[in-house]
Structure 1
Amino acid sequence: MFLRSVTLLKEKITNDKAYPFSISAIREMDTLDFANGVTFFVGENGSGKSTLLEAIAYQCGFHTAGGGKNNYYEVDSSQAALGEYIRLSWLPKVTQGFFLRAESFYHFASYLDQLAKEDPSFNYRGYGGRSLHEQSHGESFLSLFLNRFSGRGIYLLDEPEAALSPARQLVFLRLMHQLASGGKAQFIVATHSPILLGYPGAKIFSFDSDIIESVRYEDTEHYQITKGFLNRTEKFLVDLFRDDE
């Protein structure tokens, strides 16, 4: 394990009604402990999971629009609002890793293309040998995971399933297992995917209450809704559309 805990520096907060402290799960956070190689953040949109993940990326020195420590490019609205209000505790500290932000991945791929234009020797090292824009959305994500994620590091991923088919989500699970089980990597993932959440032994933190709390996989809304839909599809849809009739 590398990142041991994240602590909210409440003494630095001057307005707990302003964003991001208007989010109850963030405002009420004290210290969040990480004891697993794979940790998931789950919760509804706007619950604070991506906000905290972005702040961790900021404190790691990663580009908050996506990238590692040595990636520099401009993207609007990529500031980490929570970044200066948390403290990370490491044992040992690592400086290698990557922050994937699905919503700004296009800008990261464009940044790589610019590097390739400026330096022919760049040759998309670590990204599969060709422009990510020359691949489908899902292919480019998987190419990044397979080629850029290796060795000792911490990988912060915000909705990596956004471009992955169910089959490729399983490929990604295998990659996570290969890296995390060998003690080489730590993953913290914000996700809505019931497939990814099924990773064995992972810690799952839910942001859906006023406080961040640990939950079992089977108790997540993602698991329960998906299981209910697959087991009783017709009844599920009848109930869902009842008010439209």
Structure 2
Amino acid sequence: MTAPMAVIGGTGLASLDTLKIAHRETRATPYGEPSSPLIWGELAGQTVVFLARHGQHHTIPPHKINYRANLWVLHHVGVRQVIAVAAVGGIRADMGPGTLAFPDQIVDYTWGRHSTFFDKDLSHVTHIDFTEPYSAALRERLIQAARDLQLDARETCTYAAMQGPRLETAAEIRRLERDGCDIVGMTGMPEAALARELGLRYAACAVVANWAAGKVPGEITMAEIERNLVAGMDKVKTLLMRVIPVLESA
């Protein structure tokens, strides 16, 4: 069995209850163990593979995720399109909690992560084009589905990928804003680049879980994040039901 599409779930989406599960599959990879078993099932009449980025019980922090194993195993089982769901902080004034965002650009501030498949036993050096880090066709399908559903979504923005697992300081957020970033997360890289190396069509669906540090008074609490993600992930599930049936031709 092969699958034309996959959903990678992040914080707030460790499982996909709208998926009619067919079976679970655990696979080893040349890069170690993926974050979770592959959950095969049917969503909106299509075969979909779900993978929990942080593990089945959300136990893997962003800097410890085995991004190479995750992307390799999806590619190995036949996935060609990936919707990556992630929780983020809002920097731009219109990026309030609960908003959906479909980034079209990314700035990588991470370090020390295994960020390429092309790092040993090489016959030549490989450089991928990363001018547009997300699949334009897949982004357009997500955007159109959000429009059809009249969801509160931002159709263009720049994602700042931070190291984590701590949240950012207010000064760091001011720096990111000066750099042109609109949302901030911890898992966007190297995931997007690895997908590009494998030739996967990859797009992100971000859910704003909180205002970024310093944007509103007070501390950022996990209770606040979790509360906002409940409503935000319900929107994501509705979006997936709409967009999955039209992805095979994307």
TM-score normalised according to structure 2 size: 0.30
Which has the larger Rg? 1
Structure 1 or 2: more helix by fraction: 1
TM-score normalised according to structure 1 size: 0.31
